[in-house]
């Protein structure tokens, strides 16, 4: 049974690799076809990626503007202490579950 399962998994892996290689070999044909097509189609293919990059850049700018106020050293220490307390309480809770 174990050998059968191993062969099945290996066969599926080989099939996936072959499928991926076939897709890669087809991509240059697709690129050649898109070069023959209009420039608008090529721009439409790149548009989602460019749009996501633009949105990411905008969100980074918004995050920087929101974080424009400098964090005081005391607030960092307070936050660090709070995180450590949460970790200790989670550890105590886990230990309590093991002992019960």
Mean pLDDT of 37-65: 75
Based on its alpha-carbon atoms, the radius of gyration of the chain, rounded to whole angstroms, reads: 27
Is 79 contained in some domain?
yes
Number of domains in the chain: 1
Domain range for 83:
70-100
SS3 of residue 72 by DSSP: coil
pLDDT over threshold 90, residue 35: no
Is 51 contained in some domain?
no
pLDDT recorded at residue 70: 56
Is 81 contained in some domain?
yes
Q: Are 41 and 34 a contacting pair, CB within 8 Å?
A: yes
Is 65 contained in some domain?
no
pTM: 0.28
Is 53 contained in some domain?
no
Portion of the chain with pLDDT greater than 70, in percent:
68
- Taking only the tens place, the pLDDT of each residue in 52-87 is 999 999 888 877 766 555 556 668 889 999 999 999
pLDDT recorded at residue 61: 83
Q: What's the farthest any 2 CA atoms get from each other in the chain?
A: 71
Is 95 contained in some domain?
yes
Is 82 contained in some domain?
yes
Is 89 contained in some domain?
yes
């Amino acid at each position: 049974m174990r050998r059968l399962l191993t062969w099945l998994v290996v066969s599926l892996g080989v099939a996936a690799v072959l499928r991926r290689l076939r897709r890669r070999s087809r991509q240059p044909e697709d690129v050649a076809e898109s070069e023959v097509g209009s420039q608008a189609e090529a721009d439409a293919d790149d548009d989602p990626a460019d749009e996501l990059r633009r949105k990411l850049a905008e969100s980074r700018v918004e995050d920087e503007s929101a974080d424009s106020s400098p964090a005081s050293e005391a607030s960092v220490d307070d936050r660090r202490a709070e995180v450590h307390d949460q970790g200790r309480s989670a550890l105590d809770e886990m230990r309590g579950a093991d002992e019960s």
